[in-house]
Amino acid sequence: MSTAPWTGLLPVDDTALYVTDTGGSGRPVVYLNGSYADQSHWRRVISELGSGYRHIAYDERARGKSKRSAEYSFEACLRDLDAVLTARGVEQPILVGWSYGGILGWHWADRHPDRVAGLVTVDAFPIGLTGEAGRVRIRKLFRRMRWAFPIAARLGLAARMSADQHADVNIEVNEVSAASGPVLERLTCPVRFVLATGDNLGTKDGEMEEGRTVLDPLLTANPNLKVSAKVASNHSKILSKDSPAVADAVRELAATRGHAVS
């Protein structure tokens, strides 16, 4: 069944999410953003995949063109994803999540195993800064960067939040990520990882490369998990510099689900 394109604000809880749906009859692909990013970061991946897919992207609360909210929790983001899928009548999507969005995809698929065709996880892995030392380090980083948030928000790189709210989101997702190993072990849908190289803002001394090795035993334990590509870009640049690798992972999943697109 073909669906008409739609762009607009979708009311959810006390906010409204800016949603873009290209419509069409192709396999639906739903894009899940990084912690503070907006949907614009997916433009190159969407262009690589082309019109054979139905592309659905949205800005999370206080990101991009979406409205502010009283709640920015991980659970709220799970509700937002559910609301977008329900409102747009999406069934059996491929979820493509970068960073925070990848972790969101794991947990949504774990809760709804019969409603997802598969996951493409772009440089997310189950590790994070936890405990009091981790919280202190994160809060110091975001307070030091607070002057840049208004500028970064206009570039789709930060949310319209205070420094403390940015830190709260980061602290929570680090804790969720660090506890996500069992979630990945029991996922029943196919999952393809596209991994970056090197560190990222706020990390140092090879921390992220070491963190990526946490996937190794999970790949052995769960045959549904596979690494599709390891690319040269770092965490921040992977969508802009290595969009073909992300698109290839989507095509690979679509083919395994009997919906190959040329």
Give 111-121 pLDDT, tens digit per residue. Answer: 999 999 999 99
CA dihedral 237→242→243→244, nearest 10 degrees, is 180
For residue 198, what pLDDT is reported? 84
For residue 42, what pLDDT is reported? 98
Domain count, the chain: 1
Residue 12 lies in a domain: yes
Under 8 Å CB-to-CB from 65, ≥6 apart: which residues? 9, 18, 38, 59
For residue 258, what pLDDT is reported? 66
Tokens of 257: 């689900």
Residue 261 lies in a domain: no
The CATH number for 108's domain is 3.40.50.1820
Residue 262 lies in a domain: no
d(CA 63, CA 231): 27
For residue 262, what pLDDT is reported? 45
Under 8 Å CB-to-CB from 9, ≥6 apart: which residues? 16, 17, 18, 19, 65, 66, 67
For residue 157, what pLDDT is reported? 85
What Cα–Cα distance (Å) separates residue 224 from each residue in 93, 98, 105?
17, 19, 15
Give the pLDDT mean for 102-115.
Answer: 98
95: confidence class by pLDDT, cuts 50, 70, 90: very high
Single out the residue of 242, 213, 217, 216 nearest to residue 229, CA to CA: 242
For residue 160, what pLDDT is reported? 94
> Looking at the DSSP assignment, which residues form a beta bridge with residue 31?
57, 96
259 has pLDDT over 80: no
Q: pLDDT exceeding 70 applies to what percent of the chain?
A: 96
103 has pLDDT over 80: yes
Q: Calculate the average pLDDT of the chain.
A: 94
φ, ψ dihedrals at 195, nearest 5°: -105, 140
Give 26-53 pLDDT, tens digit per residue. Answer: 999 999 999 999 999 999 999 999 999 9
In 196-253, DSSP assigns E strands to 225-230
Under the phi-then-psi rule, with left for phi > 0, alpha for psi from -120 to 50, and beta for the rest, what region is 212? Answer: alpha
Residue 171 lies in a domain: yes
For residue 230, what pLDDT is reported? 97
Residue 1 lies in a domain: no
Residue type, 28: P
261 has pLDDT over 60: no
Residue 260 lies in a domain: no
Identify the domain containing residue 83 by its residue range.
6-255
Residue 138 lies in a domain: yes
Give 148-197 pLDDT, tens digit per residue. Answer: 999 998 888 899 999 999 999 999 999 999 999 999 999 999 999 999 99
256: confidence class by pLDDT, cuts 50, 70, 90: confident
Q: Which three-class secondary structure state does DSSP give residue 21? A: strand
For residue 203, what pLDDT is reported? 66
d(CA 257, CA 251): 10
Tokens of 40: 């614009």
The DSSP annotation for 82-93 comes to: HHHHHHTT--SP
Other C-beta atoms lying within 10 Å of the C-beta of residue 150: 10
Q: Is the distance from CB of 162 to CB of 70 less than 8 angstroms?
A: no
For residue 200, what pLDDT is reported? 75
